[in-house]
Structure 1
Amino acid sequence: MRGLLVRLLLNTLALWLVTLLYPGVRFDPGAGLLDYLVAGAIWGLANALLRPILLFLTLPLNLLTLGLFTLVVNGA
């Protein structure tokens, strides 16, 4: 449970930092902490569900590249 909360807070912090650093990524002007927390939770859930599926689908390519294609999946 503690790990889940840490990941949620790290995702939220990362989203907040991205909105500060890149002008193309933004929330509504009235966005508060709850909006960032919800976005961080959605981002974490998508990552938890999609990453294993992508790793399984790219298994033949991972075998051919000796695991280097995993870097591409992690980057995506």
Structure 2
Amino acid sequence: MRRISLFIVINAISLYIVSVLMKSVYIGSLASLITLTIIFGLLNLIVKPVIEFFSLPITFLTLGLFSFVVNGLVLKLAFNIVPGTSLHGFFNAIIAAVLLTIANTIFYNVFDS
């Protein structure tokens, strides 16, 4: 239970930081942020492995760089599902996914002992 709570808090903080850093990312309220965090986590758990499986050949050919596109796709899908949030443009989704990965990595290294 502690890991799930830590996951939700870290992802919520990271998503908020990304929304502050990028003008193309909008999160309207705290409820939208929490909903977005949960939906994004579920999509990462269910949808992302399926997309990664089918995109494995192109990911292999691009030496793993296509995984950024997959992360951006899942993030864009999460923003499209949750009302009160918006993410304009697919390229911005890829950049936001990269920033989210960097922020999550930093926070997990600091808080997950």
Is TM more than 0.5 here? yes
Unaligned runs of 5+ in 2: 70-113
Q: Name the CA distance, whole Å, in 2 between partners of 1:38 and 1:54.
A: 22
Alpha-carbon shift at residue 27 of structure 1 (Å)? 2.2
Deviation at 1:41, TM superposition (A): 0.6
TM-score after normalising by structure 1: 0.68
| Structure 1 unmatched ranges of 5 or more | none
Asked whether 1:18 is paired with 2:13, we answer no
CA drift of 1:26 comes to 1.2
The equivalent of 2:83 in structure 1 is: none
**1:38 shift after superposition:** 1.1
TM-score w.r.t. length of structure 2: 0.50
Deviations 1:16-75 (A, max 9, x none): 0011111121123xx13x32111111111111112211222134x17x64x933x422x1
Give, as a single letter, the amino acid of the residue that structure 1 aligns with 2:63. Answer: L
Percentage identity across paired residues of the two chains? 24
Confirm whether residue 36 of structure 1 aligns to residue 30 of structure 2.
no
Rg larger for: 1
For residues 49-64 of structure 1, the aligned pairs below 5 Å read 49-59=46-56, 61=57
Instruction: Supply the distance in 1 between the matched residues of 2:55 and 2:32 (Cα, whole angstroms).
Output: 34
Of Structure 1 and Structure 2, the greater strand share is in 2
Question: What residue number does 2:6 align with?
Answer: 6
CA distance in 2, matches of 1:26, 1:56: 30
RMSD of aligned residue pairs (Cα, Å): 2.4
**Could you say which structure has the greater relative contact order, defined with CA pairs below 8 angstroms and 6 or more residues apart?**
2
